[in-house]
Amino acid sequence: MMRLLRYSDTDFESDFDALVNNRRGSDDDVSADVSAIIKNVREQGDAALIELTQKFDGFDLATDGWVITAQQCTESLKTLDPELRSALELAATRIAAYHEAQKPKDRDYVDADNIRLGAKWSAVDAAGIYVPGGRAAYPSSVLMNAIPAKVAGVERLVMVTPTPNGEINKTVLAAAAIAGVDEIYRVGGAQAIAALAYGCDTVAAVDVVTGPGNAWVAEAKRQVYGMVGIDMVAGPSEIIVVADNQNDPSWIAADLLSQAEHDPTSQSILFTDDEAFAMSVSSEVDCLLAKLATGETAGASWRDHGAIIICRTLNDAMPMVNKLAAEHVELAVNNPDDLFAKIKHAASVFLGRYTPEAIGDYIAGPNHVLPTGRRARFASGLSVLDYMKRTSFIAMDENNFAAIGPAAMRLAQAEGLPAHAQSVRKRLS
């Protein structure tokens, strides 16, 4: 049974704290398994990937091949249902436009001491994106990960995706064609992340790895961070809906279940100031669960992790929304900007009654790869900056060196670094 919390209840604060501190996700400690897989790939290279792919995916890389070709992707795009192709292409156009506006500008200026300073931005040489495989594949994730990389200027974009029992998702391949992915390999799991990070005979290493995956993939990304950059270590999906009683309860019920259907450990929370409306939404959730093909998964999520919180006013909900620092927050009210101004911690916010979270998953433009598990307190969603790095520069002449050199020399002496001090002193004299 989902939790029902009333702001007026005497134990409300302790119940809400328990909700905030609930650590969802797998109870399995996969770190040792993942560490062994990474070690195996580093030491055995292609042989390890062949062995592990046969073991976990029932697919023989040595016999059936590693690579999905550009021609296969193009053919998948050509034979795709025209309406679906049009939707993918519209999504790609909007995602590219939004991320193009994120590209940072170089700086090159002269300060008050006539010293030239600045920074220039450049893309990493190669990036890898992980895409879950088989029937559970998500073409939207291909677009959301690949397009920002290409907008950033990444020259070599590698996709890894498992093909369990040889099964290839043609919509994913069509999305790869639209996004301009350069290389695709039929490997998955922690072993694919290891191959991207460390390289092997067949798969050359990359500089950044992004993309969703299961607990093993997430843990592998965590362990290879430092050898490569990563987007984030994401956990189960989550949504908060803040809604008044002017909403259609069935709309809000669908919004809550849009995240619950991802995984039994997903979380959906409704904040409202009207108890009758809350009960109507709860009833609509039950009705919808009975009809959903994903009802078993969504029902487990709603039962084990869902919550309805009844507040005195929606303004009172905002500090609690900030404390949860959720992946997705919907503000389903007439004037959402008033509440939006009070939000400090949320990965992505959806303003108004006609902006469901699902529109952001596919077509709006902002990235759907977002921090979860309260990480929105300190992290942001995937952007072009995840595929870029900044190089600062300094240029001085004899005169402006003389103006600030003595201070640098004094600081070097204070830190007990005489070679630093000499490097400055010799130029001053």
Tens-place pLDDT, residues 225-238: 999 999 999 889 99
Shared domain check, 83 and 38: yes
Shared domain check, 280 and 313: yes
Where a domain ends, among 210, 230, 250?
230
Shared domain check, 92 and 161: yes
Question: 133 and 213 in contact (C-beta within 8 Å)?
Answer: no
Handedness of CA 219, 225, 228, 233 (dihedral sign): positive
Shared domain check, 357 and 250: yes
Where a domain ends, among 196, 230, 264?
230
pLDDT-based confidence at residue 25 (cuts at 50, 70, 90): low
Q: Rounded mean pLDDT of the chain?
A: 96
Shared domain check, 224 and 246: no
Using the predicted structure, report yes or no on whether residue 134 has a pLDDT greater than 80. no
Number of domains in the chain: 3
Mean of the pLDDT values across residues 275-284? 97
Shared domain check, 38 and 19: no
Shared domain check, 197 and 62: yes
Using the predicted structure, report yes or no on whether residue 24 has a pLDDT greater than 90. no
The tokens of 331 are what? 């503000």
Residue of 327, 330, 357, 368 marked catalytic: 327
Shared domain check, 82 and 167: yes
* 328 in active site: yes
Shared domain check, 137 and 75: yes
Assess if residue 386 is contained within a domain.
no
Where a domain ends, among 348, 364, 380?
364
What's the predicted TM-score (pTM) here? Answer: 0.94
Residue of 284, 328, 357, 368 marked catalytic: 328
Assess if residue 114 is contained within a domain.
no
Question: 330 and 355 in contact (C-beta within 8 Å)?
Answer: yes
Domain hosting 252: range is 3-25+235-364
The torsion angles phi and psi of 283, rounded to 5 degrees, stand at: -65, -40
Shared domain check, 266 and 219: no
Shared domain check, 163 and 64: yes
Using the predicted structure, report yes or no on whether residue 135 has a pLDDT greater than 60. no
Assess if residue 384 is contained within a domain.
no
Assess if residue 93 is contained within a domain.
yes
pLDDT tens, 77-88? 999 999 999 999
Mean of the pLDDT values across residues 402-418? 97
Report the pLDDT value the prediction gives residue 315, as an integer from 0 to 100. 97
CA distance 20 to 373: 9
Rounded to 5°, angle at Cα 41 from 39 and 46: 160
Using the predicted structure, report yes or no on whether residue 308 has a pLDDT greater than 90. yes
Assess if residue 112 is contained within a domain.
no
Assess if residue 382 is contained within a domain.
no
pLDDT tens, 367-397? 999 999 999 999 999 999 999 999 999 999 9
Mean of the pLDDT values across residues 176-202? 98
CA distance 157 to 150: 8
Shared domain check, 225 and 354: no
Assess if residue 129 is contained within a domain.
yes
pLDDT tens, 98-117? 999 999 999 999 999 999 99
Share of the chain above pLDDT 90, in %: 92
Assess if residue 369 is contained within a domain.
no
CATH of the domain at 59: 3.40.50.1980
Q: Hey, how many other C-beta atoms are within 10 angstroms of the C-beta on 394?
A: 8
* 327 in active site: yes
